[in-house]
Chain A
């Protein structure tokens, strides 16, 4: 393993760590992070496959409000290093990704607490009217988030390969199998968080409709998206809370009730 590979891996890890908090360019998403690690370590296909599989598990991991989701950045970077440089199989990488995601979550909660201090330091510098100081504090916090992933990545790289392999072999099959099973189910928590945020009694019918239609395999997600948008537009058009006055006053005019129009046309 030459020094360039180490530097590139750490750079990708740093980038993923920064994006884990920014959530803009998406370098922390498995499909990007694992692929990049695969590319810089010279095992692009392994990285790509791991990234694709982990992406499916991580679909529902999202930070909503002040709630912190499992961390895709550490899960992707650390398991990609184990798979591409340490001889772990893709399935082992996936099983390990979940505890890694939880560890990353704990780390980001730690950094997000440390940054309370940065906010207070910024208050102090603001009193002096110093833009420059506030900017540097902000960037400093971002560096902390980058190190949050780069340091664990460095530790994994520093541990001798035999030790990692022994460690991986020491994990009993029932645990890796069980973790893989849990991995497929954990998506449900993310979905539940989104549903919990959106759901009102009136909207559950749309969830039910989506569930029923999902059994039709011919309808791909683009088709489903179109149906969803149509439903949303129809809902806005017809829901009584958006039509106060409109329905009653405009009842006789054309355009008041599409059904009337159709009947009149006949």
Chain B
């Protein structure tokens, strides 16, 4: 084919595809998942590349095939597919199977990169940071969350789509050359580490059940009666207060009883051990093909019963 006849997609065409790719999941369905969204994203390019009704019908059919990946990681796949369509429209011998092969070949591994990075690490970390700001009544919480997330997301969508477009077929070779495996493994290492950090920090489980009460000996306790008496008589001095503080710092008891809850004991054993066991139990259940909804329902029941019995609080 004559190179001069080749229609090139301009930056504005690619920007249209980028904008539309944000609506990738709008008609997510259980049969072919992101398929209509994928076609919707490709339409600005297809419109430019194909002018006859027959060509357009074939192009649409080609892009309504099954597709599903992480919604942001679809961007590089779109980029590669844009290049392929450009070549195909120019008369290169690229059949439907080749295009579908590239899409399917990239979507699985890319989802494996996107899920731990975006859903598993970035959103929980950013969300928890923003939530802590919001809980101190700071408006910066929601503002930072919204801006930071969307700047990162949009930059990622655009630049990874451009990378796919410029690299074209090369990217699939790179992927085959182990780059994808490295990315997935690296993301998983980071993800597993951060999960290890988050599980005990952000799962709130408390066992207020009292396991022991020990009376504190009179001598080990701060003599609050004497202080209040002195205060009432107007003879309370700075020195007395200073002594009290020093006594507390030296480890003298404040309460007449030393109450040990199950939580105190667990914390001494290993902080965060209960959330850890709960999470590992959930992983085990998931591997036994128990659905997440069932597990959540189960936790509900356990939470309510535990609360009523006074074990959980």
Contact = CB atoms under 8 A, between A and B. Distances in A.
A193 B286 contact: yes
Contacts of B190: 225, 228-229, 231-232
Contacts of A53: 131, 135
A16 interface: no
Interface residues of A, number: 104
A139 B308 CA distance: 47
A203 B31 contact: no
Interface stretch (A4-12, A152-160, A209-217): A209-217
Main secondary structure of the interface of A (DSSP, over half): helix
Contacts of B64: 119, 122-123, 126
Given A119-B36, A198-B188, A203-B188, A26 B203 contact: no
A126 B59 CA distance: 9
A32 B145 contact: yes
B296 A115 contact: no
Interface stretch (B21-29, B166-174, B227-235, B241-249): B21-29
Nearest to A131: B43
Given A62-B119, A131-B46, A186-B296, A48 B195 contact: no
Chain B: interface size category: 35 or more
Interface string A203-238: 110111111111100000100110111011101100
B307 A25 contact: no
Contacts of A151: none
Interface of B: 22-33, 35-37, 39-40, 43, 46-47, 53-57, 60-61, 64, 68, 71, 111-112, 115-116, 119-121, 123-125, 127-135, 137, 139, 141-142, 145-146, 149-150, 153, 178, 181-182, 185-206, 271-272, 275-276, 278-280, 282-283, 285-287, 292-293, 295-297, 299-300, 302-308, 312-313
Interface stretch (A64-72, A79-87, A255-263): A64-72
Q: Classify the interface of chain B: helix, strand, loop or mixed.
A: helix
Contact of B275 (A35, A116, A188, A228): A188
Contact of A188 (B22, B191, B278): B278
Contact of A185 (B27, B61, B181, B204): B204
